[in-house]
């Protein structure tokens, strides 16, 4: 598969939903499952929504995201817990 869910192709023409779906179908192998298609659509939709939020100034910087994740992990004792 040329583009996986981890590296979906996103370009300036992704504003057309039918074109996005056609592109995903063309990129996936012929033996893909419906779950493969749904996962690709889900990932692509979330990436596009995130890009839109960033363009609107609603996103977090990398430093802010790291700080929030560290706070979240600490609040759940995930960073300081030792394996049993």
Annotated domain spans of the chain: 17-75
How many CA atoms lie less than 13 Å away from 8 in the CB half-sphere?
21
Range with the largest mean pLDDT of 7-11, 41-45, 51-55, 76-80 = 41-45
Q: Which residue has the higher pLDDT, 81 or 76?
A: 76
Q: How far apart are CA 25 and CA 27, in angstroms?
A: 5
CA distance to 37, 41, 54, per residue, from 4 (Å)? 11, 11, 23
Q: Greater confidence, 70 or 6? A: 70
Res 53 pLDDT > 90? no
Residue 34 confidence (pLDDT) above 80: yes
């Amino acid at each position: 598969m040329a583009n996986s869910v981890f590296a979906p192709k996103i370009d300036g023409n992704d504003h057309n939903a039918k074109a996005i779906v056609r592109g995903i179908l063309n990129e996936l192998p012929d033996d893909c499952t419906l779950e493969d298609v749904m996962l690709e659509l889900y990932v692509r939709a979330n990436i596009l929504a995130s890009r839109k939020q960033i363009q609107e100034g609603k996103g977090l910087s990398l430093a802010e995201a790291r700080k929030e994740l560290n706070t979240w992990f600490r609040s759940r004792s995930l960073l300081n817990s030792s394996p049993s």
